[in-house]
Amino acid sequence: MEIVTILLKQVLIMYILMFIGYMVYKKELLSDQGTKDLGKILLNIAVPAVVISNFCIERTAEKTAELFSSLLISLICMGLSILVSYLVFHKKDRIGEFAAAFSNAGFIGIPLVQATFGSSGVFYISMMIVLIAFLQWSFGVYTITDDKSYIDLKKVIKSPTVIAVAIGTIIYFSGIRIPTIASSVLSIISGLNTPLAMLVSGVYLAQSDLISMIRKKNVYFLCFIRLIVVPLVIMCIFRFLPLGNSAIKMAILLAAACPVGSNVAIFAQQYDKDYRRGIEYVCISTLLSIITLPLVMFLASFIL
């Protein structure tokens, strides 16, 4: 129950930040170019700093076991997400299939997990974030385009998050001691992650026609699958999974229960698909997650 209280408080804080981002854009205090620049800082600096800083811990047999457990659990989690999205949306709604499969584990998941479970929570979901990046650029691209020739795994390897996990893993297993100044810089930059992520999300909402979105029934069906069905399926499997501890499962579940990842709109636009539908899925699921995330974790506190 304590986890739910912490999560609810953090969700409210994040949505207040999102509202500030919404108003900042509406009042023309932030331009479209400024938003893009903030997004670049978030993707290329803040998120990697969060990931690396949470690998800067003393290597122990227990932590190493937890790292490998989180990798296996994340593989199962993503497999279930993809399976559900495939069964529900395959060949009916390509954008919906991508949207239901991949949560916003980076922008929204990391700050929520960090606030709820501390630095160890981010350590647990790091492998999941890498898997999401890999699967989006492979299975995700194929899902949207229906063409394997568009798959480019080089982009996965070069992505800032994957590089950050690679650096963090090297630091962890090598036992390298990070200088105090470097550690302080990482900590300060990491603190930018939550406010930047939510300000940018608020701007996305401000750029969208919310009234039109709210009237579309198909958007709510997608949100129901992404925010309720997928987490419940994962939760049920986790209940009987003889891997990891409750904290690892809860952290990964929280990341998996997050709203639609913004990459669905980015990928759809890049490959000349209906990116506006992707934006609708991202915006409405993000708004609804203020209700669904605490409910999912409340239920999980009794099951896991």
pLDDT tens-digit profile, the chain (304 residues): 567 787 788 778 888 888 898 899 899 888 888 877 887 888 788 888 888 887 888 888 888 899 899 999 999 999 999 999 999 998 789 899 999 999 988 778 888 888 888 878 888 898 898 888 888 888 888 888 887 777 777 777 887 878 888 898 899 888 888 888 988 999 899 888 878 878 877 887 787 777 887 888 889 999 999 999 999 999 999 999 988 789 999 999 999 999 998 778 777 777 888 877 888 898 889 889 989 999 999 999 888 8
The predicted pLDDT at position 82 comes to 96
Q: Residue 38 corresponds to which tokens in the numbers above?
A: 């903030």
Q: How many helices (H) and strands (E) does the chain have?
A: 18, 0
One-letter amino acid of 297: M
Distance CA 208, CA 194 (A): 22
Q: Would you state the pLDDT for residue 1? A: 59
Looking at residue 17, its amino acid is L
The domains found in the chain, sorted by start residue, are 2-303 (1.20.1530.20)
Q: What is the pLDDT of residue 288?
A: 92
For residues 70, 58, 247, 228, the Cα torsion angle rounded to the nearest 10 degrees is: -50
Identify the CA nearest to 174 among candidates 74, 72, 64: 64
